[in-house]
């Protein structure tokens, strides 16, 4: 990444984050989200058509943005190593196909992934009592450190939604700061679990809270709660990173995760990124898809565009 959040972001908001009361005043003073307007804008952007050459570019870009993910209790070293190989060479028959951005796994699987991808693909680990976030802070920090020591390049943490929804914003802020410090050189993605935040206003507040605390990315969901990523929620988050950059000069990434399964869906997100945040975010350093099944559909569409033949889902490995 060419630009990352530093302590200066926290310094700029030191007065705001000095107490729960001041943080609450700031977050509740943010402009409210026009729900009807946001959903209407998403509907309009979703109808955009793109030329064939642009679609080819978009498919390869989307592949490069995928955090190829497996987060199941039945994950095994063999399964995650196979997934890591797929991340490196999504289509072994076509050497021009780009690798994915990262492989996202539980912390105990990090070393297995790292043994395959080395430094060619990022290794992301979920941490901090994923997916519930229900654990003491020392346990969350140990979880984070274990993943980093195993070789994780990125940490995907979950916020305490109970604390956030009950207005204990400073507690959430301080946990993000502590996890960010435990990450060391690893980048931090902060997961909101937007399906539990109830309102777009809460999504905007969580976005600013995480950015002020030093998160490198803000992420919609764990993929374990429905609804997961949606276009309107991602729109609100993209507006937040755009406005945060205008206020601080710092870029923060966005990662929608969960429920994004088709090339058509991915392209809708990319159009929205370009129109709302701007072309600077059309880069794997600043936008990611958290997904498992999306990659296969991208590969099927890519094969159709390059060969004229449509390969069925059984042509590629199942994840």
Q: What confidence category does residue 141 fall into, taking pLDDT thresholds of 50, 70 and 90? A: very high
**How confident is the model over 274-294, as a mean pLDDT?**
97
**74: exposed, middle or buried (Cβ count in 10 Å: 0-12, 13-18, 19+):** exposed
User: pTM of the entire structure?
Assistant: 0.94
**Is residue 317 a part of any domain in this protein?**
no
Which of 9 and 252 is assigned the larger pLDDT? 252
DSSP E strand boundaries for the chain: 66-69, 102-105, 122-127, 154-158, 187-191, 217-219, 253-255, 289-291
pLDDT digits (tens, 9 = 90+) for 6-42: 556 778 899 999 999 999 999 999 999 999 999 999 9
Q: Is 79 a catalytic residue?
A: no
**Is residue 140 a part of any domain in this protein?**
yes
Domain count, the chain: 1
pLDDT at site 309: 72
pLDDT at site 191: 98
Residue 250 confidence (pLDDT) above 90:
yes
pLDDT at site 1: 47
Provide, rounded to the nearest whole percent, the portion of the chain with pLDDT above 70.
94
Q: Is 255 a catalytic residue?
A: yes
**Among 86, 114, 189, 255, which one carries the catalytic annotation?**
255
**Is residue 217 a part of any domain in this protein?**
yes
Kindly give, in sequence order, each residue whose CB lies less than 8 Å from that of residue 107, ignoring residues fewer than 6 positions away.
125, 126, 127, 143, 146, 147, 150, 152
CA 130 – CA 70 distance, rounded (Å):
13
pLDDT at site 12: 86
Q: Is residue 307 classed as helix, strand or coil in its secondary structure?
A: helix
**How confident is the model over 188-204, as a mean pLDDT?**
97
**Is residue 210 a part of any domain in this protein?**
yes
Rounded to 5 degrees, what are φ and ψ at 170?
-65, -35
**Is residue 205 a part of any domain in this protein?**
yes
pLDDT at site 3: 52
Q: What confidence category does residue 221 fall into, taking pLDDT thresholds of 50, 70 and 90? A: very high
**Is residue 316 a part of any domain in this protein?**
no
CA 268 – CA 45 distance, rounded (Å):
7
Residue 137 confidence (pLDDT) above 50:
yes
**Is residue 314 a part of any domain in this protein?**
no
**Among 86, 114, 189, 219, which one carries the catalytic annotation?**
219
**Is residue 319 a part of any domain in this protein?**
no
Residue 263 confidence (pLDDT) above 50:
yes
Q: Which domain holds residue 205?
A: 7-308
CATH of residue 202? 3.20.20.70
CA 59 – CA 270 distance, rounded (Å):
10
**How confident is the model over 228-237, as a mean pLDDT?**
97
**Among 91, 143, 153, 156, which one carries the catalytic annotation?**
156
DSSP E strand boundaries for 23-138: 66-69, 102-105, 122-127
pLDDT digits (tens, 9 = 90+) for 278-287: 999 999 999 9
Q: Is 219 a catalytic residue?
A: yes
pLDDT digits (tens, 9 = 90+) for 80-111: 999 999 999 999 999 999 999 999 999 999 99
């Amino acid at each position: 990444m060419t630009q990352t959040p530093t302590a200066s972001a926290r310094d700029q908001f030191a007065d705001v984050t000095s107490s729960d009361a001041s943080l609450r005043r700031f977050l509740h003073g943010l402009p409210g989200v026009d729900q009807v307007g946001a959903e209407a804008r998403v509907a309009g952007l979703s109808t955009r058509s793109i030329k064939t050459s642009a679609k080819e570019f978009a498919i390869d870009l989307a592949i490069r943005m995928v955090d190829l993910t497996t987060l199941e209790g039945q994950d095994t070293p063999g399964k995650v190593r196979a997934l890591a190989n797929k991340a490196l060479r999504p289509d072994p028959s076509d050497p021009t196909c780009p690798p994915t951005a990262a492989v996202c796994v539980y912390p105990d699987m990090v070393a297995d992934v790292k043994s395959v991808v080395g430094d060619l693909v990022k290794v992301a680990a979920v941490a901090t009592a994923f997916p519930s976030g229900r654990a003491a802070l020392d346990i969350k920090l140990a979880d984070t450190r274990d993943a980093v020591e195993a070789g994780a390049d990125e940490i995907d943490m979950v916020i305490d939604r109970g604390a956030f929804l009950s207005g204990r914003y400073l507690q959430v802020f301080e946990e993000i700061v502590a996890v960010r410090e435990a990450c060391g050189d690893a980048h931090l993605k902060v997961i909101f679990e937007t399906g539990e935040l109830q309102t777009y206003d809460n999504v905007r507040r969580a976005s600013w809270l995480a950015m002020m605390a030093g998160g490198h990315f803000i992420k919609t969901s764990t993929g374990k709660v429905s609804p997961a990523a949606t276009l309107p929620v991602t729109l609100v988050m993209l507006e937040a990173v755009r406005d945060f950059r205008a206020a601080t000069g710092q870029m923060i990434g966005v990662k929608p995760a969960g429920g994004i399964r088709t090339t058509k869906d991915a392209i809708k997100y990319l159009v929205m990124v370009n129109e709302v945040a701007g072309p600077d975010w059309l880069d794997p350093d600043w936008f990611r898809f958290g997904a498992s099944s999306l990659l296969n559909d991208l590969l099927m569409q890519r094969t159709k565009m390059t060969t004229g033949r449509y390969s069925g889902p059984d042509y590629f490995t199942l994840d």
